[in-house]
């Protein structure tokens, strides 16, 4: 259900941007497209963590595209938080009030999409290694995302 609604929302944005671009108002088209993809930051985390393991997470067979076309099966990198500083974005309390911040001792699972440019660093880690791990907890189009902004071995 959530994907269908999100798909409708994106098609409305696309239709609206096409209408605006046909009237030669490119500035308005650009701002509407950006509003649909800009994340709302709820929390920013600065932490030190211990790398625990790399695990394979199988597909859970929850959509019509499962298991061969969904992309749900993926490698996860598991970290245990040693120290953490969570900064709440007070300007975005609408979504942040529903989030419980990550605490010391909790495990954080990062997939390849969350790691982005830091995937090479993550692949070079060995279990038990201490790292600096910083990430954001953002809200985009009705779903949370947690992109890693720093991953560095200590």
- List pLDDT tens digits, range 97-124: 677 888 999 999 998 888 999 999 999 9
Helix ranges (H only) for 23-86 are 26-37
Q: Which residue has the higher pLDDT, 19 or 132?
A: 132
Cα–Cα distance for residue pair 49/15, rounded to 1 Å: 45
Three-class secondary structure of residue 130 per DSSP: strand
Q: What percent of the chain has pLDDT over 70?
A: 72
Least confident of 7-11, 41-45, 94-98: 7-11
Residue 5 pLDDT greater than 60, yes or no: no
Least confident of 79-83, 88-92, 107-111, 136-140: 88-92
């Amino acid at each position: 259900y959530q994907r269908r609604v999100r798909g409708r929302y994106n098609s409305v944005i696309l239709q609206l941007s096409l209408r605006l671009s046909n009237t030669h108002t490119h500035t308005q088209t650009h701002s509407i497209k950006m509003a649909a993809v800009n994340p709302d930051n709820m929390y920013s985390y600065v932490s030190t963590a211990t790398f625990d393991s790399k695990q394979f997470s199988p597909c859970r067979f929850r959509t019509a595209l499962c298991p061969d076309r969904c992309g749900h099966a993926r490698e996860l990198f598991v970290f245990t938080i040693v120290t953490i500083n969570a900064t709440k974005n007070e300007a975005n309390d609408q979504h942040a009030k529903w989030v419980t911040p990550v605490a010391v001792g909790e495990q954080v699972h990062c997939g390849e999409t969350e790691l982005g440019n830091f995937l090479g660093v993550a692949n070079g880690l060995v279990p038990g290694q201490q790292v600096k791990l910083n990430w954001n907890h953002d809200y985009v189009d009705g779903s949370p995302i947690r992109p890693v902004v720093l991953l560095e071995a200590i």
